[in-house]
Structure 1
């Protein structure tokens, strides 16, 4: 395993781009569009033992990462819908670390989460591609951060999120089970 990589943030910490170019926005949407099929391809031949491999000591297992992406992306999709139908709504944060310890996130069968991601991303991308500039500029308030996020900014955040957790899965596979995880802290 490459020791120069920051295992917690293998592609770097989450950037915040409030005014992307149209090319950047298209790339972000493409990343979101391809995520479920890319993830499916990366995990398709993994055994139950391999699904329990971690990308770093103290990090989530591959199965927890897959289940987390389904949970997180559902929340994000709902936040988009709220921002498009309400005036700067305050969204509800959730405890990702606690969700990752629930029985469905510890399930060795990841098929339902992969199916959910495939359908959700198809629906989400259809929505994203339909948004005009005014809609892209709509916002929601994240009380945990005490700030507003525009939908266009959030598209970039979730493109990063997709790549971030794909990198974690790949790192766990590369580590071949040598790293033991605990709940994400």
Structure 2
């Protein structure tokens, strides 16, 4: 989806006052790292607190604005491979383990994975809709 986008396109917000495509990609990498670590803690600790972070403020840091998206895309690729290896070895009982969140309260790891997938699809849709709306390419 991002292949062939120009720099100015990566600097385009997906909506007025929203993040740029570049910021969304870096956010996905950071969010996925956090989700992976929360998930692993859920497998190894008894109902750990899944810490939150100020994603709005992280999105304003210089790495979100300056680093090439390829850095985060490479990170996401490696992280997904590790996550997949882990997920493929889990039992049904493992998915019933819980983590504690500030917003949702106690959730199972099964729910955590569903939210992880939804989150990534949500942001991918934002970028896809921008590309379609601006007619940058057919997707």
Question: Normalized against structure 2, the TM-score is what?
Answer: 0.92
2:109 and 2:87 map into 1 onto residues whose CA distance is: 9
Which of the residues 145, 154, 165 maps onto 2:123? 165
Residue 154 of structure 1 aligns to a residue in which SS?
helix
2:100 match: 141
1:115 and 1:79 map into 2 onto residues whose CA distance is: 21
Which of the residues 62, 72, 87 maps onto 1:113? 72
1:174 match: 132
Greater share of residues in helix: 2
Higher relative contact order (CA 8 A, sep 6+): 1
1:44 and 1:112 map into 2 onto residues whose CA distance is: 14
Which of the residues 42, 51, 55 maps onto 1:83? 42
Where does 1:21-40 land on structure 2 (aligned, <5 Å)?
none
State the Cα deviation string for residues 98-138 of structure 1 (Å, max 9, x = none): 11111111125111100000000011111112111111011
Residue 141 of structure 1 aligns to a residue in which SS?
strand
Q: How many residues align?
A: 135
Which of the residues 48, 69, 90 maps onto 1:131? 90
Check the 8 A contact 1:53/1:176 in 2, yes or no.
no
Could you tell me which runs of 5 or more consecutive residues in structure 1 were left unpaired when the two chains were aligned.
Answer: 1-41, 178-185
State the Cα deviation string for residues 65-91 of structure 1 (Å, max 9, x = none): 100000000000000110011000012
- Per-residue deviation at 1:176? 2.6
1:139 and 1:89 map into 2 onto residues whose CA distance is: 8
Where does 1:18-97 land on structure 2 (aligned, <5 Å)?
42-97=1-56
Question: Normalized against structure 1, the TM-score is what?
Answer: 0.70
